[in-house]
A and B are shown apart, each in its own frame.
Chain A
Amino acid sequence: MGIAIETSGLGKRYGRTWALRDCSLAIPAGHVVGLVGPNGAGKTTLLSLAVGLATPTAGEVRVLGGLPAGSPAALDGVAFMAQDAALYRNLSVADMLRVGRNLNRRWDTARAQGRLAELGIRLDKKVGALSGGQRSQVALTLALAKRPKLLILDEPLAALDPVARHDFMAALMAAVAEEDVSVVFSSHVVAELERVCDYLVVVQGGQVQVAGEVEDLTAGHHVLTGPAEQVDAIAQRFPVVRDRRASAQAHLLIRTGDLSAAPPGWQRHPVGLEELVLAYMREPSASMLPGPARARSEQVAC
């Protein structure tokens, strides 16, 4: 498997503010990658840099195994679905498809029309007259018609109601299952992730906090429950991501790959992805800690 997105020392500054800073990251191809973080964390900036809409202030970003982001070859292989779909609202769906066909070297008209027919979206309707969910589906259809190797979606779920969210993710997953495409999508809706992502990147304050395969992340983190007075001893042995106390009891989220057994007097529980992500997002200071051990050595150095 190649690399879908690779950044080194990547930074983007708007005015005096660094939206993204000193980011080195390698996301392997063949995954469905969730990029999460609070609003303003730098998710959109990172994705804009990856599709070549923005130019880096520092460092560089490459896609599809080494193509500079935004280069002609990269634009051919990467499809981007921007936040709020970003389509021409005054055009009909048919004209929008035609715009897409005319702007791309690779284009699968039959697939696009087939998808829209399945979804029951009429071609003669104006894009602006569609519901939010339909508009997202049209945008996804346009992105998939390029037959991309890498599909990047910026907050595809943000503007959708729960039903449309579900339908959109189902459509996305069906498309991924059909062929060999890497997907990177950003979201601040953490709950959706567990079902669809097998790789996770957490961004906070313009920096990458966590990156790794979901399996590794959940296997590499544990919740330990035990007496509060022994917390220091535990903290010396394992990095503690979250320390939550309830009277004499402490619930620690620790990071370690090889925890064969809980320390005496402590109970070990597995951790869910949502809990894990929320713990990191609540503890911006955890970004000072190195990322998960396995992931850090091969993928992350932010």
Chain B
Amino acid sequence: MTTCSPPSPHGGSLPRLGLAWITWRQHRFAFYGLLGMLAGFAILMVVEGLRARSTYDQLGLARCASFSSGTCKQLAQELFSSYSPSWPLMFLLLLPGAFGAFIGGPLIARELEMGTYRFAWTQGAGRTRWLLTKLLLIAVVLVVVTAAYGVLYTWYNAPLDHVMSMAFGNYLGFEFQGIAFPVQTLLAFTAAVFAGLLIRRTMITVGTVFLASFGLVAATVFQLRQHYMTPLVTAGQIGPRDWAVATAYVDPAGHLLSDAQSQSLHSKWALLSSSGDGLPAVTFGNWLRAQHYTVVTSYHPAGRFWPFQFIEAGWMGLLILLLGIATVWLLRRRIG
């Protein structure tokens, strides 16, 4: 009785797609929720995208070769203002955390909370296969759905993107025209599965992971991302798609001024131009140039879009991998 492979009613192997069916059956409502949330945004984008295309044609923007000056610049501005405000899209910042937490959080926590793990993990398939199948299938679905979303955004934004060059670090563009959105969603998902295994309470897991993921995404977008590489510094103009992260002043001796020094320089100019002592009002920039200061810009050149995408995908991917391995490891030994 040391080996156990008796003939069986169905072939001695697990049913093909059996675990896939279970994954679907248990998580289909989460999936519908995911689609529902995205559908709202998607409808908005499709409608706006179509409208933008007709405006583009009406304005005759197709005849313009360049949009940097003259009538064409005005027309481009008109197209820009015809786009509905993009602030609803800022809610997309919440989505990676929301998807990850609501789909990943219950995956293990709910089984532990309801006690059903005692059924699920004592069946022939075993808990490792059970977990890996669910993780991989849901991860694939999340990637497909979020990537499709990126494609839709790119389509929606294409007319505007054609006439107005945005810095590549611009939030929505960076999220949706690369791989950042799917990767962030996967990270939140894996973190939620892992947290569920530790916390063992569905609602607490979902809430914690949702807030933590939103915090991480916001910190990444507004703080972390610009430090992925050392910015270049130039005294000249930067390209339209380059991402300016800071400006600074260089004194006549060639030293870069600190923030405090720049501040006092600005105060000095403000004092002079408001004192009414006969000096013509000059702009700060012109005044600086007259004093032989130069203005320099720190920026990331447009070519860094993909390197930045890969850096973000790299560290998040590493976290995803570590969390995934930790989950499998813990699930195999710590339960019970």
Q: Do A and B come from one complex?
A: yes
Residue numbers of A with Cβ under 8 A of B are 2, 48-49, 51-55, 64-67, 72-80, 82-84, 86-89, 91, 95, 98-110, 139, 142, 146-147, 149
Chain A residues near B3 (CB-CB < 8 A): 73
Asked if A87 contacts B119 (CB within 8 A), the reply is yes
Known: A75-B125, A80-B118, A103-B22. 14 other contacts (CB 8 A): A2-B1, A53-B117, A54-B336, A55-B336, A75-B124, A86-B115, A86-B116, A88-B26, A98-B25, A103-B19, A105-B10, A105-B14, A106-B124, A147-B8
The one of B14, B126, B336 that contacts A102, using a Cβ cutoff of 8 Å: B14
25 sample A-B contacts, Cβ–Cβ < 8 Å, listed by A number:
A54-B336, A55-B334, A65-B1, A67-B4, A72-B126, A73-B5, A75-B123, A75-B124, A76-B124, A77-B4, A83-B118, A86-B115, A88-B114, A88-B119, A91-B25, A102-B14, A102-B15, A102-B19, A104-B123, A105-B8, A105-B11, A105-B14, A107-B8, A147-B8, A149-B4
B90 within 8 A of A: no
Interchain CB contact under 8 A, A53 and B121: yes
The 10 closest A-B pairs by CB, nearest first: A54-B336, A102-B18, A103-B123, A82-B118, A65-B1, A106-B8, A104-B124, A80-B122, A53-B336, A73-B4
Q: Are B116 and A100 in contact (CB under 8 A)?
A: no
Asked if residues A67 and B2 are in contact (CB atoms below 8 Å), the reply is: yes
By the criterion CB–CB under 8 Å, are A103 and B333 in contact? Answer: no
Are the CB atoms of A103 and B10 closer together than 8 Å?
no
Would B14 and A104 count as touching, CB distance under 8 A?
A: yes
Encoded as 1 (CB less than 8 Å from any A CB) or 0, chain B from 25 to 36 comes to 110000000000
Evaluate contact between A48 and B8: CB separation under 8 angstroms: no
**Pairwise interchain contact B1-A102, C-beta atoms closer than 8 A:** no
Chain B: interface secondary structure?
loop
A51 to B123, CA, bound (A): 10
Min CB gap B127→A, angstroms: 9
Q: For the complex, is B70 an interface residue (Cβ under 8 Å from A)? A: no
Q: Is B303 an interface residue (CB 8 A)?
A: no
B25 A86 Cβ-Cβ under 8 A: no
Q: Which residues of chain B are within 8 angstroms of A75 by Cβ–Cβ distance?
A: 122-126
A65 CA / B3 CA spacing, docked (Å): 9
By beta carbon, the residue of chain A nearest B128 is A72
Determine the chain B residues whose CB is within 8 A of the CB of A109 once the complex forms: 9
B280 at the interface (CB under 8 A from A): no
* Least CB distance, B199 to chain A, in whole angstroms: 17
Distance (whole angstroms) from the CB of A287 to the closest CB of chain B: 25
Q: Which residues of A contact B115 (CB under 8 A)?
A: 82-84, 86
Residues of A within 8 A of B270 (CB): none
Chain B: interface residue total (CB-CB under 8 A)? 38
**Nearest-CB residue, chain B, relative to A77:** B4
Q: How far is the CB of A255 from chain B (nearest CB, A)?
A: 33
Give the nearest-CB partner of B121 in chain A. Answer: A53
Within 8 Å of chain A (Cβ to Cβ): is B6? Answer: yes
Q: Closest CB of chain B to A75's CB: distance in Å?
A: 5
Q: Roughly how many angstroms separate A102 CA and B123 CA in the complex, as a whole number?
A: 9
Q: Whole-angstrom distance between the alpha carbons of A52 and B22 in the complex? A: 22
The reply to whether the CB of B13 lies closer than 8 angstroms to some CB of chain A is: yes
A106 and B12 form a contact (CB under 8 A): yes
Are the CB atoms of B25 and A95 closer together than 8 Å? yes
B2, A65: Cβ atoms under 8 Å?
yes
Q: Indicate if B329 sits at the interface (CB-CB under 8 A).
A: no
Nearest B residue to A109 by beta-carbon distance? B9
Given A64-B1, A66-B1, A86-B115, the answer on whether A99 and B25 have CB atoms closer than 8 Å is yes
Write out the residue numbers on chain A whose beta carbons fall within 8 Å of the beta carbon of B336: 48-49, 53-55
Does residue B171 face the partner (Cβ distance < 8 Å to A)?
no
Residues of the B chain whose Cβ atoms lie less than 8 Å from the Cβ of A51: 122
A159 to chain B, nearest CB (A): 12
Residue numbers in B under 8 Å from A139 (CB-CB): 119
A100 contacts which chain B residues (CB < 8 A)?
A: 123
Q: Which residues of A contact B122 (CB under 8 A)?
A: 51-53, 75, 78-80, 82
Q: Which of A2, A106, A108 has the most CB of B within 10 A?
A: A106
On chain A, the residues within 8 Å of B333 by CB distance are 55
Is B21 part of the binding interface, using a Cβ–Cβ cutoff of 8 Å? yes
Q: Is B120 among interface residues, defined by CB-CB distance under 8 A?
A: yes
Interface membership of B253, Cβ < 8 A: no
Contacting residues of chain B (30-58) with chain A, CB-CB under 8 angstroms: none
CA distance in complex: A104, B129 (Å): 12
Contact (A86, B8) CB under 8 Å given A101-B15, A103-B18: no
B6 → chain A closest CB, angstroms: 7
**Contact between chains at A86 and B9 (CB < 8 Å):** no
B15 neighbours in A (Cβ, 8 Å): 101-102
User: Once the chains bind, are B120 and A103 in contact (CB under 8 Å)?
Assistant: yes
Cβ contact within 8 Å between B125 and A53: no
B9 touches A107 (CB 8 A): yes
CB distance from A241 to the nearest CB of B (A): 33
Chain A residues with Cβ under 8 A from B124's Cβ?
72, 75-76, 103-106, 146
How distant is A98 from chain B, measured CB to nearest CB, in Å?
Answer: 7
The interface residues of chain A lying within 8 Å CB-to-CB of B126 are 72, 75
Which one of B9, B114, B122 has the greatest number of beta carbons of chain A within 10 Å? B122
Please name the residue on chain A nearest to B335 by beta carbon: A53
| In the assembled complex, B293 has its CB within 8 A of some CB on chain A | no
CB distance from B7 to the nearest CB of A (A): 9
